Amino acid sequence: MPEETRGASGACAKCSCDLAQDQAVCLWDGKEYCRACVNSVSPMLLAYAKIYSILSERIVIHPRDAVRDELLLWCLVGPAFTGFLCYVGFTNGLGIWNGIFLGVVVTALGALVRSLIVYRAAALVSGRVEVEDGRLRVQHPGRGNASWALQDCQWHVGSARKAKTFFPGLFVSRRLIIVECPLNVRFLWRLNARVPCGLTKELREVWESFLIIAGVERKRRFLR
């Protein structure tokens, strides 16, 4: 059911203007906003809110993208490793060419083996994150389901590697939204579950603009 048809009353949760029935947009935090406020944050958010009663995203990664990221990593590590072997070969009289040869062979074999491992691991990535009526629900492939009040969470834009429990064994370089959800575990500091979302450019804009207008706390840079 489109959100706008749920019925409107009261004031916009952001600018406090009176909401006419045809101007109200109910977002997934359970609050109503005027069209102008939602559109000013993101026209994409307004379009999604009109269509979807739940903000929902599958957490998956295409194996091809995972392999590409892994190979980019080896493109950095390989020359550095080869340079190190050349230095060792030069200082020990074993020859620079032996260092280059060994470095290239090890890098090529390592990249090949890791690409196969990463391809299979990426195919197993699965999960889902949803927001409805102010609750964040997460389906974790290994840890089951969990939910939090959205206002108890924090978020920031960061590397997918920060949410590594969803991408085990993968070097995923893309930047996305990381939602930090409080756990009932404390060890010197509060521990959070890091939930990735906004894996595509379009959904990243929707998640980011939604979290901003909903007033969910953005985690400060030095605390990430």
* Residue located via tokens 């590697």: 161
Smaller CB distance to Zn ion: residue 40 or 139? Answer: 40
Tokens linked to 84: 């190190």
Q: Choose, by CB under 5 A, the member of 3, 8, 12, 177 that binds Zn ion.
A: 12
Window of 8-16, 111-119, 142-150, 205-213 that interacts with Zn ion by CB under 5 A: 8-16
Q: Within positions 37 to 76, which residues make up the interface with Zn ion, using CB under 5 A?
A: 37
Least separation in angstroms between residue 20's CB and Zn ion is 11
Tell me if residue 182 falls in helix, strand or coil.
strand
Task: Please answer whether residues 125 and 166 qualify as being in contact, where contact means their C-beta atoms are separated by less than 8 angstroms.
Answer: yes
Say whether residue 172 binds Zn ion (CB under 5 A). Answer: no
Residues 6+ away with beta carbon under 8 Å from 188: none
* Residue located via tokens 């090890």: 106
Q: Choose, by CB under 5 A, the member of 8, 25, 26, 34 that binds Zn ion.
A: 34
Task: Please answer whether residues 152 and 182 qualify as being in contact, where contact means their C-beta atoms are separated by less than 8 angstroms.
Answer: yes
- β-partners of residue 135 are 132, 149
Angstrom distance (rounded) from CA 216 to CA 25 = 18
Least separation in angstroms between residue 35's CB and Zn ion is 8
Q: Choose, by CB under 5 A, the member of 15, 77, 116, 124 that binds Zn ion.
A: 15
Window of 35-43, 44-52, 110-118, 127-135 that interacts with Zn ion by CB under 5 A: 35-43
Q: Which residues bind Zn ion (CB under 5 A)?
A: 12, 14-15, 34, 37
